[in-house]
Chains A and B, each alone.
Chain A
Amino acid sequence: MIKTAVIAVLVFSAALPARAERLWLVIGASDPSAAALARKTKTLALDTPDSLVVQTSDCGDKKNFYAWVAEAATSPEAAHAALRRVRTAARDAYVKRCDTQPGTLLALRITAVDASIADVPETAVNWQENDRISTVRPLPDGRAIVIARYFAKVKDDPLEGRRERVILAESSDKRRVLEENCPSPGRVAMRHGRVAFHCVREEAADNLIHNVVVFDTTGEKLAEIKRCRNPKWLNELVIECEEESVGPDGQLKLRTIRSSPLPPLPSATSSHQAP
């Protein structure tokens, strides 16, 4: 009985408060294209550092568009006060009522389109619309993994500055960056709050080569397993993944390997049940 209660408290405390919430969004600009909105709002965003881009599907709208939100107010009064301020810079600003969907970027107050996206050169060859839009993956324990896509202005970059930051989000104000750049992050494997996933790190013939990264429940990095994909937890201390090797024929060969034992779980969480 006591054990059940402890588990319930732990799970509840870790759960993401990404519940349905009524907001009034003060929208200064909108566009169906993330790229176009980023360019449109580049100067607006400079004067409003707390602004964020919202995809209206996060409000449950069937037809999605991207909205530059100067303020996400919790009351209509606060929203209309903000609207007067915003209209000095964006004359067509308006207020939209939004019933925030749980587990969305908006629930976490994370922008759907990073401000850096505005700086992607128009001549960029390999940028697609999806490369400009951040996404969220809810985890079974109530937390979430956010893939924040952004542009890094790096000279002669092979990916033209395309980057994917992986963030572990527990709430709208409790986040931790797990990987500053993890191209094409794979499915998240989770055990006792520990998470593991793969990132693309290399290219070999017609194959992408990955590293598996492993994090503690707090987001502390525990291990990075080179040239491996599709991690799975065998138990809370050992991970299994598919080791990648490409020979002279260009063919990818996969071999299942097990990681070295990871540090044991802290005793406080050792009674935490696997999700």
Chain B
Amino acid sequence: MSVLQASVGVKGKNLEDDVQTVQSLLKSKGYDPGPVDGVCGPDTIAAIRTFQATFLARPDGLIEPGRKTWVRLSSSGGASTTPDLTQWSGDSAKWTQEKKLQSLHPELRPKVVAVLRALEQRGFQPKIYYGWRSVAVQLQLYFQGNSKVKFSFHNAQKPNGTPNSYAADIIDSRFGWSPGAEQSGFWKALGEEAKARNLTWGGDWVSFRDWAHVQLVPNSELARVKQESGL
């Protein structure tokens, strides 16, 4: 369990050790606070705000010992040798934004965070609808006729069964998949921001569009990802 001696962030005390702790934890959760150097600069504050946006209506960029942001940041940041699979149960579309981010592959996570941040800066209200989705749910969708695939990049997991999704579905929380998403330019912006970070975007798939979908690797790697997942 990490320890915070004083506040970090906007108008915080920003002790070097505390800032380093916060920067490390933010990185472990897929955010990009810049280098872990103990200096609370604009990147660190932006990362704190982005993290807070996943559970606070009004992010203030400040972390204080014992308060909500610190509790969230320090709760599951450390490495665990025995995975607690029960925490990954339930409808993953209803998980918190933070948990959805945590369910992503470590290389995808910072890219998705950057895409979310860039879309916010463009005036959108992005959120992750799906990060990881279990194989059991995927099969259910397939057999109900609600999906064309039995295994997707959303289903990728570590061999120990914990989520390691290679894909995320990102929507604007005002529109979802309704026509407003296209009319407002959200899909186009999502595609631009995703591709700027070398992500594959499902809106480019002429044979079968998946507008909200961004993916870490090309479709040709599906077999490798399935094998890597131990499935």
Contacts and interface: CB of A to CB of B under 8 A. Distances in A.
Interface of A: 123-126, 128, 154-160, 162-163, 181, 183-184, 200-209, 245-250
Most buried by B among A124, A160, A204: A204
19 contacts: A125-B149, A125-B223, A126-B148, A128-B150, A155-B220, A156-B200, A156-B219, A158-B202, A162-B148, A163-B207, A183-B148, A201-B209, A203-B148, A204-B212, A205-B130, A245-B179, A246-B177, A248-B173, A248-B174
B151 A203 contact: no
B208 A200 contact: yes
B146 A206 contact: yes
Interface string B207-222: 1111111000011101
A232 to B, nearest CB: 19
Contact of B208 (A125, A156, A203, A248): A203
B210 A250 contact: no
A128 B218 CA distance: 21
Contacts of B132: none
B207 A248 contact: no
A70 B179 CA distance: 51
Contact of B169 (A181, A183, A200, A205): A205
B177 A205 contact: yes
A125 B151 contact: yes
B226 interface: yes
Contacts of A123: 223
Interface of A is mostly: loop
Nearest to B130: A205
A162 B169 CA distance: 23
Contacts of A250: 93, 129, 176
B176 A249 contact: yes
Nearest to A152: B207
Contacts of B173: 248
Contacts of A247: 175-178
Given A204-B211, A208-B147, 18 more contacts: A123-B223, A125-B151, A126-B148, A126-B150, A154-B207, A158-B208, A162-B148, A200-B148, A201-B208, A203-B147, A203-B213, A204-B212, A208-B148, A247-B175, A247-B176, A248-B175, A248-B176, A249-B176
Interface bin, chain B: 35 or more
Given A159-B148, A248-B171, A124 B220 contact: no
A125 B169 contact: no
B145 interface: yes
Interface string B164-194: 0000010111111111000000000000000
Interface in B119-164: 127, 129-130, 141, 145-151
A223 to B, nearest CB: 19
A162 B178 CA distance: 27
Nearest to A124: B223
A173 B219 CA distance: 38
Pick the 7 closest A-B CB pairs, nearest first. Answer: A248-B176, A204-B177, A246-B177, A247-B176, A123-B223, A202-B209, A156-B219
Nearest to B133: A206
B166 to A, nearest CB: 13
B202 to A, nearest CB: 7
B129 to A, nearest CB: 6
Given A125-B226, A156-B219, A245 B178 contact: yes
Most buried by A among B146, B173, B200: B146
A208 B144 CA distance: 11
Interface string B97-127: 0000000000000000000000000000001
Contact of B178 (A183, A184, A246): A246
Contacts of A207: 146
A227 to B, nearest CB: 8
A217 B174 CA distance: 43
Nearest to A208: B146
Given A183-B148, A247-B178, A248-B173, A203 B220 contact: no
A125 B220 CA distance: 10
A226 to B, nearest CB: 10
A126 B149 contact: yes
Given A202-B211, A204-B212, A158 B219 contact: yes
A181 B213 contact: no
A249 B173 CA distance: 9
Nearest to A226: B179
A35 to B, nearest CB: 16
A204 B176 CA distance: 9
A167 to B, nearest CB: 18
Most buried by B among A155, A207, A248, A249: A248
B207 A203 contact: no
